[in-house]
Chain A
Amino acid sequence: DIQMTQSPSTLSASVGDRVTITCRASQSISNWLAWYQQKPGKAPKLLIYKASSLEGGVPSRFSGSGSGTEFTLTISSLQPDDLATYYCQQHNTYPFTFGPGTKVDVK
Chain B
Amino acid sequence: QVQLQESGPGLVKPSETLSLTCTVSGASVRSGSYYWSWIRQPPGKALEWMGHIYYSASTNYKPSLESRITISLDRSRNQFSLELTSVTAADTAVYYCARDVGRAGYFDYWGQGTLVTVSS
Contact = CB atoms under 8 A, between A and B. Distances in A.
Size category, A interface: 20 to 34
B61 to A, nearest CB: 8
A46 interface: yes
Contacts, number: 55
B76 to A, nearest CB: 26
Interface string B27-70: 00000000000000000001111000000000011110000000
Interface in A76-107: 87, 89, 91-92, 94-101
Interface in A7-46: 32, 34, 36, 42-46
A95 B49 contact: yes
Contacts of B105: 32, 91-92, 96
Interface residues of B, number: 20
B108 A55 contact: yes
19 contacts: A1-B63, A34-B106, A43-B112, A44-B96, A46-B107, A49-B101, A49-B104, A49-B108, A50-B106, A55-B108, A87-B47, A89-B49, A91-B104, A96-B49, A96-B105, A97-B49, A98-B47, A100-B46, A101-B46
